């Protein structure tokens, strides 16, 4: 809030530009935000029933539910967001809830399935890597459909089948609308990025998502 030259004395650090301040060339100025209040702050929500969602909402921040969460855990984020908004004294607006999904769209179903489920493709590679890391670190519950599900029921195949949305534009739109009915209304769908094994198919998927799928989703919602 202050103008230079700055001379801040803190509990642990002292910061001063008094000796190095040169107003004529702008040296020693700390840029002030152009947007007031500050630009929106959005945090990723990973844990089921995430306490982080509540703490973020109290501070006026908004959540992104991660693309590798089962729908049951995505759904659990909304009540935690409502709780935080109430404690922070602001309305809980579904428009501020962002949800990420792994999506692949192709002009025909066979191409979509082949690319999205290819064991050596980017989608399965992504979930294989995550599954390996989370299993090793005792966080396999993120991939469970219920908390009492035995660990040995959680397989890479079951994860990919549940979490990768793929198909033609019509099919993908139907799957996304079904997903939203399952988890509740949210304001923004984030297309989770994956490396392109096939550049043209990867690019085409994003174009189809924007030009074909989203109009169907918006109309259906």
pLDDT at res. 32: 81
Calculate helix-pair angle for 109-117, 122-136, nearest 10 degrees. 40
pLDDT at res. 30: 85
What are the E-state strand segments in the chain? Answer: 7-9, 14-16, 42-45, 62-65, 98-105, 164-167, 188-191
pTM of the full structure: 0.83
pLDDT at res. 39: 85
The first and second tokens of residue 26, run together, are 């702008």
**12 CB-contact burial (10 Å; exposed 0-12 / middle 13-18 / buried 19+):** exposed
Give the other-Cβ count within 10 Å of 63's Cβ: 25
In degrees, rounded to 5, the angle at the alpha carbon of residue 108 between the alpha carbons of residues 103 and 109 is 65
Tens digit of pLDDT at every position of the chain (221 positions): 788 999 999 999 999 999 999 999 989 998 887 888 888 899 999 999 999 999 999 999 999 999 999 999 999 999 999 999 999 999 999 999 999 999 999 999 999 999 999 999 999 999 999 999 999 998 898 899 998 999 999 999 999 999 999 999 999 999 999 999 999 999 999 999 999 999 999 999 999 999 999 999 999 98
**116 CB-contact burial (10 Å; exposed 0-12 / middle 13-18 / buried 19+):** buried
pLDDT at res. 36: 81
pLDDT at res. 33: 78
**150 CB-contact burial (10 Å; exposed 0-12 / middle 13-18 / buried 19+):** exposed
């Amino acid at each position: 809030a202050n103008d230079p030259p700055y001379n801040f004395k803190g509990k642990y650090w002292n910061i001063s530009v008094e000796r190095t301040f040169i107003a004529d060339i702008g040296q020693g100025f700390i840029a002030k935000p152009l947007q007031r209040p500050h630009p929106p702050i959005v945090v990723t929500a990973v844990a089921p029933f995430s306490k982080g969602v509540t703490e973020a909402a109290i501070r006026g921040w908004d959540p992104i539910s991660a693309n590798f969460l089962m729908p049951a855990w995505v759904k659990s984020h909304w009540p935690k967001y409502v709780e935080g908004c109430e404690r922070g004294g602001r309305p809980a607006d579904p428009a501020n809830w962002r949800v990420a999904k792994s999506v692949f769209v192709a002009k025909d179903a066979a191409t979509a399935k082949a690319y999205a489920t290819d064991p050596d493709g980017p989608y399965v590679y992504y979930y294989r890597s995550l599954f390996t890391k989370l299993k090793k670190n005792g966080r396999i519950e993120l991939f469970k459909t219920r908390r009492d599900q035995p660990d040995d029921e959680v397989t890479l195949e079951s994860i990919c089948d549940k979490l990768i949305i793929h198909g033609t534009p019509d099919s993908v739109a139907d799957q996304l609308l079904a997903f939203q009915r399952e988890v509740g209304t949210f304001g923004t769908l984030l297309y989770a990025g994956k490396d392109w094994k096939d550049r043209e198919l990867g690019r085409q998927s994003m174009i189809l998502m924007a030009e074909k799928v989203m109009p169907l989703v918006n109309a259906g919602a």
